[in-house]
Structure 1
Amino acid sequence: MNLKNKTLLITDIDEFIGLRTAELAIAQGMKVRGLHSTEQDKKAHDLGIDVIVGNITDPTTAKKACQGVDIVLHTAQIAQEAGSINDFREINVGGSINMAKAAKDAGVKTFVHLSSVMVYGFDYPDGVTESGPISGDNNPYCQTKIEAETALLELNASPDFGIIIIRAGDIYGPGSIPWIVRPIHMMRQKLFAYANDGKGVINHVYIDNLIDGIFLAIEKEPYGEIFNITDGQETSWKEYFMRLAAMESLPAPLSLPKDEIKLFLRLRVQGQKLFRKKVDILPESIDFMTRPYACSIAKAQSLLNFKPTIDLEEGMQRTHEWLQETDIQKLLQ
């Protein structure tokens, strides 16, 4: 599919993935429409994007958003580390199915679903491929991303309506809350530590590399397929967090046993709730930061000709420049 002059609907347009995708799509000559659950963000407005306000679980909103659209990029989700499984299912599964059905009914050609390598759980084989194994690991995020993938692939009806699943790695770059904003915020407060000597691998993917992979998938139309998209680098958790600290000229973080960090965070959460402050990081987040191995991107390299162009050093430099101009405290409110 030639992307020029195609109309792309992006759900969660005002979040950092959606907004950056919109910027790069417009630069490629695409028309962009957005769907978001709250009032239009100034950044989307400045880009001239028509934003529809509504919930992805509402059939009327979904129908309206999908009219006249060629491609849907579905990024909306609950991406917390823990919470009620019913809340996760309502958005991550129910909302995804609702958007896909509306897209199919509206004659949309391509539906790209942003999933996650978290469908492999917290303990998977080295070089895990799209064939698995997958595991919910009793985590509502992991479990509902698996359920959404299964339900969406049942709607694939190539060539008239094609579903493509993108299992994104740990997305970092300007605007990334879990992998940039939160750790930097805690490092500045001298509250950050990484677990278990930083062993294991972060499956990082710079935001622009991810979007390149998404655009390649749209162009090549591999309907019914699933792709891991990461930077393809085996970076240890220790190296990543050390780089993050050095980037901001902050002291090198300490390493503590995983259980000690989780206990500290449980106490922190209790204190924040007691004083009616917003909980900024959950104990379960440590599970997300101790995964052991790298995922394989061989399939994306082979079928999509995916080649990550921004390495960790350049990605960190771009992120540093963004941090110099950004009050990250506002992003955590």
Structure 2
Amino acid sequence: MHHKELKKLQGSKVLVTGGAGFIGSNLCETLLSNDIQVVCLDNFSTGKRENITPFLNLPNFTLIEGDIRNLNDCNTACLGVGYVLHQAALGSVPRSINDPITTNEVNVSGFLNMLVAARDAGVKRFVYAASSSTYGDHEALPKVEEVIGKPLSPYAITKYVNELYADIFYKTYQLNTVGLRYFNVFGKRQDPDGAYAAVIPKFVQQFINHESPVINGDGSYSRDFTYIDNVIQMNILAMTTTNQNALNSVYNVAYGDRTTLLQLANLLKMHLSSFDSMIKNIEIKHRDNRIGDIPHSLASINKAKQLLNYNPKYNINDGIKEAVNWYWEHLKS
């Protein structure tokens, strides 16, 4: 699927902001392996140099070390670019609760800088990472794009503001945008370290180290865990679709299935036990729920299927198997 669609981009230059991050580096890798010119803009605040080290010698890869909070850096990065995949952001609800100002500077001011730079450079299409956190306190499942609640964290506010700005930039300046509301993305190169590590790499690392993972709450909270290859597919479709009705809109990017945290921990345990049989005896621990966490998340992916021909290939089990294989290679010391 990738290759057929990506033929349309040959001869174009694609800017991936946050290209040294988890999702960004996976996008860079796919584009580069299809002979597309890639510019990566990253300030390495959360991105990792080792994520892009394999690309540095490729003739079709350019790294710009810069910050989306600096309009000049955004303008430089957008020169000659046909498409932007805007992934640069400060993720994490708890981080935004601890430091709402920096999260807003990067995710709102930085986003606005990127829109202005893309507009001024005449970019054909601006595809950006939106978030499932935008559904906020709206409880109905599955989540459909047109119905959202009130945001439950500073992070969620910033990601909703992105959608509002993108909409205005189309209406006011005719910049074509597509917002992708990511649901709990996981896969290779997602960082297991640090205070704000995502649940899957963190649990994997703990199991490998023979430590007990700790679930917030009783483990009944559920998420629509989405393997990275589904996300790559969606970004490619958003960049290449010829359906004008599909543009200037937002889409859920997910598999359309939900898994409880307890099921997740047991799934990881099962797959990791095939490498190390001691892992199946590790106990799973519990603590209080976290502020700003919603109990359940599940995406409807009908809109993406209808308008973009989205067809996710990886369910949670397939994705976990791939991810665990990668982590086992990269994490065991």
Quick check: 1:158–1:223 contact (8 Å CA) kept in 2?
no
Question: Which residue, out of 175, 184, 188, partners 1:170?
Answer: 184
Tell me the CA shift for residue 4 of structure 1. 2.4
1:167 alignment partner, SS class: strand
Tell me the CA shift for residue 46 of structure 1. 4.4
* Residue 73 in structure 1 maps to residue 90 in structure 2: no
1:104 alignment partner, SS class: helix
Alignment of 1:2-17 (within 5 A): 2-17=8-23
Deviations 1:35-93, CA, capped at 9 Å, x for gaps: 01149642331445201111101111111100100000100111123222211110001
Identical aligned residues as a percent: 24
Match of 1:59 in 2: 71
Match of 1:96 in 2: 111
1:226 alignment partner, SS class: strand
Quick check: 1:113–1:163 contact (8 Å CA) kept in 2?
yes
Tell me how far apart the structure 2 counterparts of residues 237 and 254 of structure 1 sit (CA, whole Å).
11
- Comparing 153-162 with 233-242, greater Cα deviation is found at 153-162
* Residue 43 in structure 1 maps to residue 67 in structure 2: no
Question: Which residue, out of 268, 272, 279, partners 1:244?
Answer: 268
- Comparing 317-326 with 6-15, greater Cα deviation is found at 317-326
Question: Which residue, out of 142, 147, 168, partners 1:132?
Answer: 147
Alignment of 1:157-306 (within 5 A): 157=171, 161-177=175-191, 178-187=198-207, 188=209, 190-220=211-241, 222-249=246-273, 250=279, 251=281, 253-254=283-284, 256=286, 260-261=287-288, 284=291, 288=293, 291-306=295-310
Amino acid paired to 2:53: K
Quick check: 1:165–1:226 contact (8 Å CA) kept in 2?
yes
Amino acid paired to 1:216: L
2:288 alignment partner, SS class: helix
1:42 alignment partner, SS class: helix
Amino acid paired to 1:174: K
Tell me how far apart the structure 2 counterparts of residues 164 and 158 of structure 1 sit (CA, whole Å).
15
Amino acid paired to 1:173: G
Deviations 1:88-119, CA, capped at 9 Å, x for gaps: 11000110110111011001010011011111
Match of 2:320 in 1: 316
Change (3 A) 1:291 1:176: farther
Tell me how far apart the structure 2 counterparts of residues 128 and 197 of structure 1 sit (CA, whole Å).
23
Tell me the CA shift for residue 218 of structure 1. 1.4
Structure 2 unmatched runs, 5+: 192-197, 274-278
Quick check: 1:241–1:253 contact (8 Å CA) kept in 2?
no
With structure 2 as the length reference, what TM-score do the two structures score?
Answer: 0.83
Alignment of 1:108-119 (within 5 A): 108-119=123-134
Structure 1 unmatched runs, 5+: 263-282
Change (3 A) 1:10 1:323: same
Quick check: 2:205–2:331 contact (8 Å CA) kept in 1?
no
Match of 1:24 in 2: 30
Q: How many residues align?
A: 302
Tell me how far apart the structure 2 counterparts of residues 15 and 328 of structure 1 sit (CA, whole Å).
21
With structure 1 as the length reference, what TM-score do the two structures score?
Answer: 0.83
Tell me how far apart the structure 2 counterparts of residues 201 and 237 of structure 1 sit (CA, whole Å).
6
Tell me how far apart the structure 2 counterparts of residues 122 and 205 of structure 1 sit (CA, whole Å).
21
Tell me the CA shift for residue 201 of structure 1. 2.4
* Residue 33 in structure 1 maps to residue 39 in structure 2: yes
Amino acid paired to 2:115: A
Deviations 1:221-267, CA, capped at 9 Å, x for gaps: 522100001012232222222111222222455353xxx335xxxxx
